[in-house]
Amino acid sequence: MNHVSIECDLESLTYHEQVVGNIAFVIDYYDYFPGQGWSDFVAIVLNWWIDSCRALVFAPLHETYSFSFMDGRDEIVARKVSETEAKLFYVDRDARHVLIGTVSIEELRLALIKVTYQLLNAIDRNGWEHEEIETLRHTVKSIERI
């Protein structure tokens, strides 16, 4: 089983109508997907990822869910292989599927909760407001209750 985390570089955050910053899936503490320094609309993608993770928790075996990025065609695809595990695939611009690991669905859920609250705390410190941020506040609560 591989370790999974999600990193959002809080020092990279900027705000102009949307919160933008560096975000990536991290496998085994050192493999970053799509890469270290990947910049994206963090509040939007975290909303999508939480929705995908919540669906994955309740999905039947072999269902797949996409953890998309807004900037580009790259994505992480999760396929449920047991009640507690999912295989993660990195899908690049050429639609190649590369297995990046088998992870605990619970660890993925907790990683999403952790990074979301780190982001929301940084947003609050900066006084930023946007509809997507408010949606994220509600979305993270929905995955906490699982």
pLDDT (tens place) for every residue of the chain, 146 residues total: 999 999 999 999 999 989 999 999 999 999 999 999 999 999 999 999 999 999 999 999 999 999 999 877 889 999 999 999 999 999 987 888 899 999 999 999 999 999 999 999 999 999 999 999 999 999 999 999 99
Nearest 10 degrees: CA dihedral of 31, 37, 42, 46?
0
Q: What stretch of H or E contains 75? A: strand 75-80
User: Model's pTM, two decimal places?
Assistant: 0.95
Domain that holds residue 112: 4-144
Residue for token pair 């906490």: 144
Strands 4-16 vs 75-80: parallel, antiparallel or unpaired: unpaired
Handedness of CA 85, 52, 122, 142 (dihedral sign): negative
Inter-residue contact 35 to 23 (CB < 8 Å) = no
DSSP state of 60: P
Q: What CATH code is carried by the domain that includes residue 111?
A: 3.30.2450
What is the number of structural domains in the chain? 1
